[in-house]
Amino acid sequence: MAGGPLRAQEATVAGRVERARDGRASPVTGATVVLHRVSAVAQGPIDTTRSDAAGRFAFRYAADTGAVYLVSARYAGIEYFAAPLPGRPGARDTGLVLAVHDTSSAVPVALAARSLVVTRPEGEGGRTVLDVFVLVNGSDLTRVAADTAVPVWAAPLPARITEPEVGPGDFTTSSVRLRDGAVALVASVAPGVRQLLLEYHLAAGQRELLVPFATPVDSVSLLLEDARATVDDPGFARGDTATIEGRQYRHWSGRIRSPGTLRVVLSPPRTDRLPLLALVALVALGFGAALWRFRARRAPAPAPAPAAPPPDANAILEELAALDARFAGREAELPPAEWQAYQRDRARLKAALEAQLAARAPRA
């Protein structure tokens, strides 16, 4: 009798591992599939199996409402993860598809969009810059490095910046190198859209920010909290001005048509300090994924509401960044249902962004 109620509380997940190539999917036999449990107090694998001849796998587990569960499959040395599973007793998900890919050290990873937020002078006169790179692998192969000395993607960083750090995004700190005036990515990059986030600082008295671009970029956006700052490029237009916490933020946007340097002219420094709450609101306006320093002062966020896919890449990028501003890095403090809703909405927006950007990326 004791086994009946206990079994009724078990959750079930089942699905298949598929290899995507040339627009077709084929089952993967013998792939190692792992079920992971992630909670505020512990995380790690709790079960493992191998996919059968049809690529199928299944797990039963004692679900915990205070945890999130993930399924991963290892293929060609790369670990691929599915979207989070609900930590709900009795939950059943029998249609999970884990897509894996062959690898290549030649398919390109392109910079499809870039967004920067530049604060006005803070504290003793320095400024903070939040820099978001949107990368796209438009092939159906996972890009890997040819060797440890060659990154899968790299880009120059502005001169005279200090304290560059990697923020929460799709890549860990260990997979990003920040040296010699450049950012270099050494992690594998699966097909689709990925975000790399950086924060760095400008010294007090610095009168310009010179942003180098090694390749053309279709979409570049800037939010300048400095009222007198301008973008010195005829291809960039000033957009709407937003008032947040009584402060004005200027939006500039344009595209980089050829390699070169984008010049942002800054005004003389002031000594007043930017309230952290204002920066939180600023980032939520369109570049929220980079806000990891100031997370502790945010109020609890409501669950994300489903929304129709935005009509273009810029709108999708802004919605995705705003969503990340409210939820990124807050898994431990949010109810599992909210966190899962965030993950689903983020996956939906990234899929929509991928559809907009993949066509622009060069293919192998």
Q: Which residues contact 186 (CB under 8 A, 6 or more apart)?
A: 145, 148, 151, 152, 175, 176, 177
Q: Which residues contact 61 (CB under 8 A, 6 or more apart)?
A: 10, 11, 13, 35, 37, 46, 47, 69
- In the numeric block, which tokens belong to residue 190? 């699966």
In 3-state terms, the chain is what percent helix, strand and coil (to 5)?
Answer: 20, 45, 40
Among 69, 71, 68, smallest CA distance to 81 is for 71
All residue ranges of the chain with pLDDT < 70 are: 1-8, 242-247, 269-315, 317-332, 336-337, 340, 351, 353-364
pLDDT value for 109: 95
Q: Rounded mean pLDDT of the chain? A: 80
Among 32, 193, 17, 21, smallest CA distance to 104 is for 21
pLDDT tens track for 156-190: 999 999 999 998 888 889 999 999 999 999 999 99
* Residue located via tokens 């990925």: 194
- Per the CB < 8 A criterion, the answer to whether 116 and 105 are in contact is no
pLDDT value for 8: 45
* Residue located via tokens 């600023």: 282
- In the numeric block, which tokens belong to residue 41? 């107090």
- In the numeric block, which tokens belong to residue 37? 């449990």
pTM of the model: 0.71
pLDDT value for 357: 58
pLDDT value for 92: 83
- In the numeric block, which tokens belong to residue 179? 């040296």
Domains of the chain, first to last: 3-100 (2.60.40.10), 110-359 (no CATH)
Beta bridge partners of 241: 250
pLDDT value for 364: 43
pLDDT tens track for 184-242: 999 999 999 999 999 999 999 899 999 999 999 999 999 999 888 999 999 999 988 76
Residue type, 92: R
User: What gap in Å lies between CA 27 and CA 162, rounded to an integer?
Assistant: 48
Q: CA distances (Å), 85 to each of 11, 152, 170, 255, 304, in order?
A: 10, 31, 19, 39, 17
- Per the CB < 8 A criterion, the answer to whether 328 and 168 are in contact is yes
Among 258, 187, 264, smallest CA distance to 233 is for 264
pLDDT value for 300: 39
Beta bridge partners of 231: 264
Q: Which residues contact 299 (CB under 8 A, 6 or more apart)?
A: none
What is the enclosing helix (H) or strand (E) of 61?
strand 56-62
β-strand pairing of 217-224 with 182-185: unpaired
pLDDT tens track for 288-304: 433 333 333 333 334 44
